[in-house]
Structure 1
Amino acid sequence: MSEEGKIIKINIEEEMKTAYIDYSMSVIVSRALPDVRDGLKPVHRRILYDMSNELNLYSDKPHRKSARIVGDVLGKFHPHGDSSVYDAMVRMAQEWSMRYPLVDGQGNFGSVDGDSPAAMRYTEARMKKIADEVMADIEKDTVDFTLNFDDTIPEPTVLPTKIPLLLVNGTSGIAVGMATNMPPHNLSEVVDATCAYIDNPEIEVADLLKYVKAPDFPTGGIIYGYEGVREAFETGRGRVVIRAKSEIEHTHSGRECIVITEIPYMVNKAEMIKKIADLINEKKIEGISYINDESDRSGMRIVVILKQDAVASVVLNTLYKYTQLQSVFPVNNIALVDGRPVMLNLRDLIHHFVRHRHDVVVRRTRYDLAQAEKRAHILQGLLIALDHIDEIISIIRGSDTPDIAKASLMERFGLSEAQASAIIEMRLRALTGLERHKIQDEYDALCKMIEYYNEVLASEPLQMKIIKDELLEMKEKYGDERKTEVVFSAEEFNPEDFYADDEMVITISHMGYIKRTPLAEYRTQNRGGVGVKGSATRDEDFIEHIYVTTMHNTMLFFTEKGRCYWLKVYAIPEGTRASKGRAIQNVIQIEPDDKVRAYINVRRLDDKEYVDNNYIVMCTKEGVIKKTKLEAYSRPRQNGVNAITIKEGDELIDAALTSGHAEILIAAREGKAIRFPENTVRAIGRTGAGVKGISIEEGDEVIGMVCVEPENKKDILVLSENGYGKRTDLDDYRITNRGGKGVKTIQITEKTGKLISIQAVDDENDLMIINRSGITIRTAVTDIRLAGRATQGVKVINLRNGDQIASVMAVPKSEEPEEAPAAETTENQGEGAASAPETAQE
């Protein structure tokens, strides 16, 4: 056998190991992973280089067929399948795939529904304006070049991008034994963070988080929870939870619907809708009537119509759990650093980009300096020639050949060959005075530029200033607002930090609708005013409870069955003064046949001294009273707790927070009231039944309870259902033993109607009264004069068409001016008759 045909035996195990390592390194370095400097994989880099330097498809040039671009890239730089190049170019043109697209596509480039783009022979493309910045200065020897696959054309190993592409656009790729998945970020935030790094190279990741809040996805959505984001920024790995952006709206028929306007990144909208529809049909998701995609050119809109009794928040959370309305973006920041795959955190990514830009700026400055010196050298020769033009002409005319003329000029004036050649090729028009000045001005300008370039090359701080200025210019040109919101999950933040501690009015209707409304929305009227519409209710519904609190308070809700529930005020749905509110069963998990009868407003359930030295006093319709330490209610439970054991036929009507030393008044519907000290009631456990507070006749019932602290001088205000009311000094009610029948608190007649409310008030209170038709009036307590305990009082509100008062609440005095008074009333109210003008306002 000849020497050339000799067979060499090798170990197959070693050969496979070597071949596989070579293959895997080729995939890692030349296909799947981006370079940390320009953030691009080879295919994207080759597409942009070919579009710019080979086909001249900058943003100000006409579009060209995609097939031409793909063919050129395949033939010159990327000898793989045409689909690999076209798919990569299409993705660079899709606004839902890239945060800042680099290709300007014309034609069908696919859709967020997963539709395929048109064939490359139909579509056209050119570079986006931002891609011009990626290619800027590539002709100035700013990056290294290598020969292409067949050693015929040079191609760049990296692009001299002014934009930190790896951070702003992210990337994803699967190599051999490793993968990368990097989210996009907001350009303005990344530039600010990079500038902060330039100012302080020792800056920590925690400080960079002040600038780069979180990833910013092109499809918007909501990042839910921040721990995964922080972990990704600090370590290079983390889980970012993304939720669709949704709103709760109402259809024309009044049914609630969930409207989705933004979906998580890389989610196929059509497949997501199909998945939701399948879950509805399989009964895995309850409460949805149907789902409809109403997206158009103006934006995305997916409408989920709910069933009549469905709770929107519950359905939405179910959708988050079972569908891609909530998805996870696993961050894995692996990129090539000096040809090696490395896991990088936020600071590393910024560091390597700045290092690359520093290298580009230095190389560009050297190139510009060399070009300027070369040109200045020529101009210097031309100026010498113009100063000795007659002698120059004589030498040239006396020479037999241009080479002899060049040699003579070089010898006579000490010129270089380049200068001598420029003089010989100089046109006669350069001899004019104007041209002489132009050459001199250009030479002077070049001398200044050469001086500046030398300063830049000698000063690293100046080089960094140039990088920073160019970054700020990119921010000015291409920076925009965030598309993705960041919402902290319940475990990560204190919700109170996001709400001002404003005063709110909480209203609860007879049929159980609750809302909060800013107190400032209610106006003050004179006593006797007809009022303003306070709430939109159904014909058979009316406002039954109205309470005043602030946004940061915790509200304890007590129901007529004796249950207690907890809720922060900011968690109560907000509504306007005229809105109906939300069914309370959708806000707190009370039983369908139960109703809220009282609330207690507390701030510090975690303060042991506070909860141990304050008490909850409760009163039932049958006159039972109970006292329990606040500490028993200091541990909120989602499903509530038993607050008092209610006997059959009885129900809780009121509850109050006391110090343990208050005076308690209990009033009955037939006009009797009893006063006794709180310390005569022993504190018992949360599940106890209580003791007798007042004895009432059969057919009578307790309508309210008042607890007055000794340091707070209060008057007792009572109001009857037909609108008659009065203030009485607390001392007019003698102290008796608990469990007695009480004394008369108002003269009950057919005209006054039964007693409806008892309140403790002073001159700093206003009275808010709501009648059964939903009309609200706010009047100053000072308009209601003091009267004796046994009188019937003055008319506080005019009622129409047999209407009656439904609820009364003493609120802090309003600082707003009163409404203009209307005509005076002439009706005589009897003892304590009205003497102030009355207002009629709808």
Structure 2
Amino acid sequence: MAEVIQSLPLEDVIGDRFGRYSKYIIQERALPDVRDGLKPVQRRILYSMYSSGNTYDKNFRKSAKTVGDVIGNLHPHGDSSVYDAMVRLSQDWKLRHLLVEMHGNNGSIDNDPPAAMRYTEAKLSQLSEQLLRDLNKETVDFVPNYDDTQMEPMVLPARLPNLLINGSTGISAGYATDIPPHNLAEVITATLKLIDNPDMTVKQLMKYVKGPDFPTGGIIQGIDGIQKAYETGKGKVIVRAKTETETLRNGRSQIVVTEIPYEVNKGNLVKKIDELRADKKVEGIIEVRDETDRSGLRIAIELKKDVNASAILNYLFKNTDLQVAYNFNMVAISDGRPKLMGIKQIIDCYLSHQIEVVSRRTKFDLKHAEDRMHIVEGLMKALSILDEVIALIRESKNKRDAKDNLVVTYDFTEAQAEAIVMLQLYRLTNTDIVALQEEHDALANKIAGLQHILNDHQALLNVIKTELEEIKKQFKDARLSTIEAEIAEIKIDKEVLVPSELVMLSVTHEGYMKRTSLRSYNASGKEEIGLKANDYVIKCLEVNTQDTALVFTNKGRYLSIPVHKIPDIKWKDLGQHISQIASIDEDEIIINYDVVSKFDDQAAIMTVTRNGMIKMTTLSHYKTARHLKPLVAMKIKDDDVVINAVKVDVTKPEQLVTLLSYKGMSLTYPISELPTTGIRTGGVKAINLKAEDYVVMADIVSESDTILIATQRGALKRIGFNVLQVAKRAQRGITLLKELKKQPHRIVAARVCDVSTTQYHLISDEDVYIGQINKIHLSEQYTNGSFVVDTTTFGEVKNLYVSE
């Protein structure tokens, strides 16, 4: 051979070769034909089994023999790829209606491999006969196989719409397909309706085809997604497992899964659920068991006592393959090209194929009937002149001479002459003459009927309809998957994710925060809390790990921190600084915190600033998914800071808020005076302040409370509720301190004390003085209280806090 070397750019060569390869794998490997719903390898497997007589009414045959026939005659690829395709045609969790019956281990829904092909046996299923029916009547085109030694069909006659019934999945170059299986009776009914009314809309078709019908059952949610897919070829639905809850003898309950989504690996699903249990990502599951046996699929998820089964199930739907999204991508080969098609286009293409198949079959039957009619007419003519025919044959030299003499003498055709000379002697009886006449009449009727089918399109459609109805009657079965119109919203309760546990939550003035188990708290004693020097606890509460802590800062911001995310630290240890839990500014100070279990409008946060602004915002405004990040709680001016944020009960408008100012002014009024506003507002005026005065305390007060007041000169004053005078918001209020011309007392801090409060802590820059509150006598309105510390040695008082 002459050597031809071409000089071509690499990109042209690569592009050309890959283009050819892509065309091959799109048309000849990965995508199904819209007419019979089969990929080439599947078609070759079925055809090979059919042509070798390995049909449903015969005995099973070794799979290795079939695979060998397919590879040797039709499909020159690896034996494993052919065997895998053959096995898939026999798996009842992959195909809605099996095309191959198999004896032996053909894999499992856990994705276990099948037994080797030398061990398994297979034959065509009864339904496959309907795909291959009339194949020998020239109904489809045949093409040479890969080595031109025999012919193979380009497509099967497919007397049922297999593409929709069994679906298909595949990936090729630039194209992929995902067509779900459907119910045979529904698809055939829709096809029959479309024959009668070709102008039907997809919505009308959906009266008959409700949606996919997966062999594994399950619940399909999202009828809008189904309609979109049927109209355009693309759409999305949610497929979730079918479950029920059982009660066990020991009082516990268990979730039982009886159907799982299509194409989900059961073994991996069970493993994933058990990993969530072992890693404690979901609370309440004791054990996960795969109880699947010959009676059907069954996964048991045993739960702890008093656990909300539906909450656990919702979490599993969200985080495992108990619920998956199925994306329609209905691509199939039509007219030699890949096309994205809706359900009506698929059925139309199938009907066009059936019209061609039935037309070609009818022509084939007509030709054979006419040929037989010709022979019968010749035999009848010969029998009518039997003696002359016998005499002519006896005088002939041989068979060839006898045939020629019959053709020349009596105008018989070559075919008729062949039939006459091959006639057996017993056929010369009177009985056979009658039988020939009956056959002639039957053939005449058959030919007339076949010609009517070819000449009348409606008659041809009626043949298709009749045969489809017969298939539907023979193979129909009940729907396995349930259709639900709407996609259910999954709400995951906190109790599923976080164990319900009571803990102590403490926050200190300098910003150290910790949660402590009740065991550690009770073992150490409340007085032995770990603190830095001169630091003190702002608030300590017994809370639930499922609650959320709202931590407020002096800059009008708040942090939403789930309690379970706060570090678990022993009571004797220091705790973690808030800056290590959330990102706050260096000069930002925690002023208070509260814990919320339910964000609703029954409670609100009352926020007060140093310059006398106040606002009340219901808890629902504080709900956020942005945990551990500072969010605005109150809009404040640059020269202002928030001094307190208190949770109040909105359902009790008679509650009283009391404010104290630096210069000793006191104002008390009901919270009903406060309008409820949004979270990013600045609020309204709380108190009418004098020049150079500012608010030092704002809190809720009740009749059983007293207020402890500290002045910069080391004096403490305790007043009862009776000293307060209820007034209106934004007034000046009453004077609590006696005004002195020299060294006047100024309030630096004040605290509302309930009956459980026993100790007070006076704080200067260098020292802390601890005393008993009940030793401070109640004072009248115009007194400055009694001196507790000597500021010459203790230092000027800066702060005051109280504790139990």
Normalised by the length of structure 1, the TM-score is 0.58
Contact 2:166 2:182 in 1 (8 A): yes
Please state how far the C-alpha of 1:6 moved relative to its aligned partner.
4.2
When residues 29 and 322 of structure 1 are mapped into structure 2, their CA distance, relative to the original with a 3 A threshold, is same
Contact 2:221 2:487 in 1 (8 A): no
Contact 2:238 2:487 in 1 (8 A): no
Residue in structure 2 matched with residue 462 of structure 1 by the alignment: 459
| RMSD between aligned residues | 2.3
Contact 1:257 1:304 in 2 (8 A): yes
Contact 1:643 1:686 in 2 (8 A): no
- Asked if residue 475 in structure 1 is aligned to residue 472 in structure 2, the reply is yes
Of 323, 326, 339, 1:326 maps to 323
- Asked if residue 58 in structure 1 is aligned to residue 47 in structure 2, the reply is no
Please state how far the C-alpha of 1:686 moved relative to its aligned partner.
14
Aligned partners of 2:211, 2:4: CA distance in 1, in Å?
Answer: 62
Please state how far the C-alpha of 1:414 moved relative to its aligned partner.
1.4
Residue in structure 2 matched with residue 277 of structure 1 by the alignment: 274
* Equivalent residues in 2 for 1:662-811, closer than 5 Å: none
- Asked if residue 183 in structure 1 is aligned to residue 219 in structure 2, the reply is no
Aligned partners of 1:96, 1:443: CA distance in 2, in Å?
Answer: 52
* Equivalent residues in 2 for 1:154-553, closer than 5 Å: 154-489=151-486
When residues 452 and 283 of structure 1 are mapped into structure 2, their CA distance, relative to the original with a 3 A threshold, is same
Partner letter of residue 213 of structure 2?
D
Please state how far the C-alpha of 1:10 moved relative to its aligned partner.
2.1
Residue in structure 1 matched with residue 19 of structure 2 by the alignment: 21
Aligned partners of 1:240, 1:41: CA distance in 2, in Å?
Answer: 25
Aligned partners of 1:436, 1:317: CA distance in 2, in Å?
Answer: 80
Aligned partners of 1:381, 1:356: CA distance in 2, in Å?
Answer: 38
1:379-416 superposed Cα distances (whole Å, 9 cap, x missing partner): 11000010000000011111112222212211222111
Moved more, 15-24 or 404-413: 404-413
1:202-224 superposed Cα distances (whole Å, 9 cap, x missing partner): 11111101110010000001002
Please state how far the C-alpha of 1:328 moved relative to its aligned partner.
1.4
Residue in structure 2 matched with residue 119 of structure 1 by the alignment: 116
SS at match of 1:310: coil
Aligned partners of 1:13, 1:321: CA distance in 2, in Å?
Answer: 46
Please state how far the C-alpha of 1:490 moved relative to its aligned partner.
6.0
Residue in structure 2 matched with residue 39 of structure 1 by the alignment: 37
Of 57, 66, 70, 1:69 maps to 66
* Equivalent residues in 2 for 1:576-725, closer than 5 Å: 645=652
Partner letter of residue 14 of structure 2?
M
Please state how far the C-alpha of 1:239 moved relative to its aligned partner.
1.3
Contact 2:362 2:450 in 1 (8 A): yes
Aligned partners of 1:173, 1:322: CA distance in 2, in Å?
Answer: 26
Of 116, 125, 130, 1:128 maps to 125
Moved more, 120-129 or 221-230: 221-230
SS at match of 1:99: coil
Aligned partners of 1:247, 1:9: CA distance in 2, in Å?
Answer: 70
Please state how far the C-alpha of 1:491 moved relative to its aligned partner.
7.5
SS at match of 1:342: strand
Residue in structure 2 matched with residue 835 of structure 1 by the alignment: none
Aligned partners of 1:4, 1:290: CA distance in 2, in Å?
Answer: 75
Contact 1:181 1:333 in 2 (8 A): yes
Aligned partners of 1:195, 1:399: CA distance in 2, in Å?
Answer: 60
Aligned partners of 1:437, 1:286: CA distance in 2, in Å?
Answer: 87
Aligned partners of 1:190, 1:167: CA distance in 2, in Å?
Answer: 7
Aligned length: 506
Please state how far the C-alpha of 1:300 moved relative to its aligned partner.
1.1
When residues 426 and 643 of structure 1 are mapped into structure 2, their CA distance, relative to the original with a 3 A threshold, is farther
1:456-486 superposed Cα distances (whole Å, 9 cap, x missing partner): 0001001111111111111101011100001
Partner letter of residue 257 of structure 1?
Q
Partner letter of residue 9 of structure 1?
S
| Identity within the alignment, % | 47
Aligned partners of 1:458, 1:486: CA distance in 2, in Å?
Answer: 43
Residue in structure 2 matched with residue 517 of structure 1 by the alignment: none
Aligned partners of 1:473, 1:389: CA distance in 2, in Å?
Answer: 46
1:400-447 superposed Cα distances (whole Å, 9 cap, x missing partner): 122222122112221110001110110111111111111111111011
Moved more, 356-365 or 8-17: 8-17
When residues 88 and 490 of structure 1 are mapped into structure 2, their CA distance, relative to the original with a 3 A threshold, is closer
Please state how far the C-alpha of 1:12 moved relative to its aligned partner.
2.1
Aligned partners of 1:230, 1:256: CA distance in 2, in Å?
Answer: 38
When residues 73 and 207 of structure 1 are mapped into structure 2, their CA distance, relative to the original with a 3 A threshold, is same
Aligned partners of 2:5, 2:193: CA distance in 1, in Å?
Answer: 63
Aligned partners of 1:490, 1:148: CA distance in 2, in Å?
Answer: 49
Please state how far the C-alpha of 1:229 moved relative to its aligned partner.
1.3
Residue in structure 1 matched with residue 695 of structure 2 by the alignment: none
Contact 2:233 2:343 in 1 (8 A): yes
Contact 1:113 1:271 in 2 (8 A): yes
Aligned partners of 2:137, 2:143: CA distance in 1, in Å?
Answer: 16
1:234-275 superposed Cα distances (whole Å, 9 cap, x missing partner): 110111210000001111112221110000001111110001
Of 6, 10, 13, 1:12 maps to 10
Aligned partners of 1:368, 1:5: CA distance in 2, in Å?
Answer: 54
Aligned partners of 1:7, 1:450: CA distance in 2, in Å?
Answer: 62
Aligned partners of 1:50, 1:294: CA distance in 2, in Å?
Answer: 39
Partner letter of residue 123 of structure 2?
R
1:265-298 superposed Cα distances (whole Å, 9 cap, x missing partner): 0111111000111111112222211111111100
SS at match of 1:161: coil
Please state how far the C-alpha of 1:305 moved relative to its aligned partner.
1.1
Select the structure of larger CA radius of gyration.
2
Partner letter of residue 335 of structure 1?
A
Residue in structure 2 matched with residue 145 of structure 1 by the alignment: 142
Partner letter of residue 433 of structure 2?
R
SS at match of 1:393: helix
Contact 2:221 2:488 in 1 (8 A): no
Aligned partners of 2:487, 2:43: CA distance in 1, in Å?
Answer: 43
When residues 122 and 271 of structure 1 are mapped into structure 2, their CA distance, relative to the original with a 3 A threshold, is same
Aligned partners of 2:54, 2:393: CA distance in 1, in Å?
Answer: 46
SS at match of 1:266: coil
Aligned partners of 1:153, 1:6: CA distance in 2, in Å?
Answer: 33
SS at match of 2:310: helix
Aligned partners of 2:370, 2:400: CA distance in 1, in Å?
Answer: 25
Residue in structure 2 matched with residue 94 of structure 1 by the alignment: 91
Aligned partners of 1:686, 1:162: CA distance in 2, in Å?
Answer: 75
Contact 1:221 1:264 in 2 (8 A): yes
When residues 686 and 276 of structure 1 are mapped into structure 2, their CA distance, relative to the original with a 3 A threshold, is farther
